[in-house]
Structure 1
């Protein structure tokens, strides 16, 4: 049960990320000044893939996957909505903050001694490396924005 709870917490973070990226993409479509939508779309797709991986593992372990992002998702959407109003750099910084928070959540989960090897493997080989790549992508977008 502990492992399913851990996975559902990570799943809620990923659901929050997909919702937040969708909001950013909606803003990008509405605002031609906000470039980088191809990169943002790729990050959004990667988070949807992470949601799918976590849901599959929760189901395989006999659990019920969370279906919404909960209060964290509401807060993340609020922050991103405000950032979208402030412009591209603020929007990218809000996304980057979410990615860093997600990476920290994965690292925290890896410190859990009760984590099973299949969960540990998914985080170490797929989810955390993807999160770290997202941070680098957003770093590049932010650097391009200030150049």
Structure 2
């Protein structure tokens, strides 16, 4: 599977994981926290759309599910949510870290098409970094 398909699977996993968290914590999360999580959720959905477009431009068919990683992430997130908000935020952060590392790894590929490299460098990687900072801030607030 190509690097881009793998990135798409990661983003599909992130969308599903954030959806789980949003559904679970909708009633017990402060409005500001909900807005922040919703923003990250929407950015992951946009990343899915962008990557699907790039894959189609390359004449390939985009994967439709998050695969084994997504299945593991769902189980991990479900377990974390049973332990409460802090554990769930840590689980989301782990997922973001994995995505960040995957984007950085793909950028090492010297044969990566320039338009995809540009998408990752200007949009997708900065979003991952922003999500990490956001979750770090939420974790500090929850642990205080």
Matched with 2:40 is 43
Residue 24 of structure 1 is aligned with which of 21, 27, 30? 21
Query: How far apart are residue 139 of structure 1 and its match?
Result: 0.5
Instruction: Give the Cα separation in 2 of the matches to 1:74 and 1:127.
Output: 22
Matches within 5 A, 1:52-71: 52-71=49-68
Unpaired stretches in structure 2, ≥5 consecutive residues: none
Matched with 1:126 is 123
Normalised TM-score (structure 2):
0.95
Whether 2:96 is the aligned partner of 1:99: answer yes
Matches within 5 A, 1:72-91: 72-91=69-88
Instruction: Give the Cα separation in 2 of the matches to 1:122 and 1:74.
Output: 27
Matched with 1:108 is 105
Q: Hey, which bits of structure 1, 4+ residues long, moved more than 4 A? A: none
Q: CA RMSD in A?
A: 1.0
Q: Secondary structure at the match of 2:94?
A: helix
Unpaired stretches in structure 1, ≥5 consecutive residues: none
Alignment length (residue pairs): 142
Matched with 1:139 is 136
Instruction: Give the Cα separation in 2 of the matches to 1:129 and 1:63.
Output: 26
Listed one character per residue, the Cα deviations across residues 90-133 of structure 1 (whole Å, up to 9, x for unaligned) are 00000000000000000000001111111110100000000000
